[in-house]
Structure 1
Amino acid sequence: MVGPILGQPRAPRQPRLRGVTTQSAAPGSRQARKERTRRAILDAALDLLVDEGFASLSLRRLTKEVGIVPTAFYRHFSTLDELGLALVDESFATLRAMIREVRRDAPPPDELIDASVDVLCAQLDAHPTHFRFIARERYGGVPVVRDAIARELDGIERELATDLAGMPGLERWGPTDLAVLAGLFVDLMVAAAAELVSTEAGHPDVRAAIELTLRRQARMVVVGAAGWEPLAP
């Protein structure tokens, strides 16, 4: 199901911090510059990772993109792996915000699928690089990043399983069945997110088809769940 997640070709970019000096200008400006540089590193990494996996990310290319010398990188991150973990934290903050938005409105079960898809699409439009990063690195080549993503997804699945336990018709389900159902929904949403931020999804007709398929697949999961006989604990 997952389509290509490579971004479209881009024109050459200028260093992000060009013109920033190292002289202090006012009280607090040094900390502010440090925070801006850290933010620029994170943004540049996400931008570069549209076209490549994290395992291929070059420190020299990254710092050139930001407009700093390589040694300046280590004032913010001790290793590239630490940068990767920061990107995981930030990307999942976006995903968790999406989940909180769905929970906040507490739609009835028959509206939950459409509400979830609508919120997912809105978040994808606002933060496409975060979802590209999760989709690409979930099975990527850097173990520390891949494992961190797996832990985050496991946590989301556990939270979703808790929510599902309170839904009508699922009260008799045991924790194993609830965990399987939660995993199906999370896998479906992550796979759909990968397709929705692909280059092909930039075409309105393609995006509409992906969204429609996602809604149908989610409903099929719900229909299957309704007919499922819970396994013995």
Structure 2
Amino acid sequence: MPAPAATRQAQKERTRETLLHAALELSELYGFAQISLRQVARHAGVVPTAFYRHFGSMDQLGLTLVERSFTTLRRMIRDAQRDPDVYDNIIDASAEILVEAVKQNRGHFGFVARERVGGSPAVRQAIQHELDLFVNELAIVLARLPHIRTWTVDDVQMVARLFVRNMVSHAEDVVALPDARPDLEERIKDDARREMRVIVIGFRDWRSSTASPGL
């Protein structure tokens, strides 16, 4: 039989997950900034005092949801970086990774899409922070590509931001997709690829302020 401490810990984890799930469901209906701790606790089937065993406030719960949303996407990007073919097909790979990540975690990405501009200040700030981290990670990947290896850090960051803005826009499109519409899903992927290719076209002719004349 499981030890009592292990059983209590497992129950604690289940309650925590139930609270997070309840907050996602309610935020989809009303917006995260409009729901209360008591609503989340009631929807999760626990008393309000149980909420405080897991989260100090609604903002802390919201920050946990933000972190989970981006952890999944960041992990998929890192896994893809281990594949040497990604650098030869970075645009196609990025479109595929983005759509799959959003489909598998639609609730979390829907939360980010809704709260990115309309959420509480703490949640909005956390989302922006995660986007900034994502820009930094993507900039490291892009800096290895031909044509931009000698660009300034600011210019590489600029291109990374363009890619991330493109990805955010299309992630929000995927969130809004109706079920069983693979045709619309392919259209989103195609639009993402085309727009990223437009960005890439500028790589060859861009003159970074400290780039060598041969670029």
TM-score normalized with structure 1 length: 0.82
Which structure carries more helix by proportion? 2
- Which position in structure 1 is the counterpart of 2:18? 40
Secondary structure of the 2:89 match is: helix
CA distance in 2, matches of 1:128, 1:215: 21
- Which position in structure 2 is the counterpart of 1:76? 54
- Structure 1 residue 169 corresponds to structure 2 residue 140: no
Q: Deviation at 1:220?
A: 0.8
- Structure 1 residue 134 corresponds to structure 2 residue 112: yes
CA distance in 2, matches of 1:227, 1:49: 45
Q: Deviation at 1:212?
A: 1.3
Q: Deviation at 1:199?
A: 4.1
Q: Deviation at 1:106?
A: 3.2
**Cα distance, 1:122–1:199 mapped onto 2, change above 3 Å:** closer
Name stretches of at least 5 consecutive residues in structure 2 with no aligned partner. none
Q: Deviation at 1:108?
A: 4.8
Q: Deviations over 1:90-111 (max 9, x none)?
A: 1111121121122121325441
The one of 74, 89, 96 aligned to 1:96: 74
Secondary structure of the 1:94 match is: helix
**Cα distance, 1:28–1:139 mapped onto 2, change above 3 Å:** same
Residues 181-200 of structure 1 aligned to structure 2 (within 5 Å): 181-200=159-178
Q: Deviation at 1:62?
A: 1.4
Secondary structure of the 1:68 match is: coil
- Structure 1 residue 212 corresponds to structure 2 residue 190: yes
Which one has more relative contact order, counting CA pairs under 8 Å at least 6 apart?
A: 1
Amino acid at match of 2:150: R
Q: Deviations over 1:5-52 (max 9, x none)?
A: xxxxxxxxxxxxxxxxxxxx9452222111110011111212222233
Name stretches of at least 5 consecutive residues in structure 1 with no aligned partner. 1-24
8 Å Cα contact 1:161-1:179 kept in structure 2: yes
Runs of 4+ in 1 over 3 A off after TM superposition: 199-202
Aligned residue pairs total: 210
- Which position in structure 1 is the counterpart of 2:8? 30
TM-score normalized with structure 2 length: 0.89
- Structure 1 residue 107 corresponds to structure 2 residue 110: no
Secondary structure of the 2:40 match is: helix
Q: Deviation at 1:172?
A: 2.2
Q: Deviation at 1:200?
A: 4.1
Q: Deviations over 1:181-218 (max 9, x none)?
A: 00011111111111111144753332222221111111
Q: Deviation at 1:155?
A: 1.3
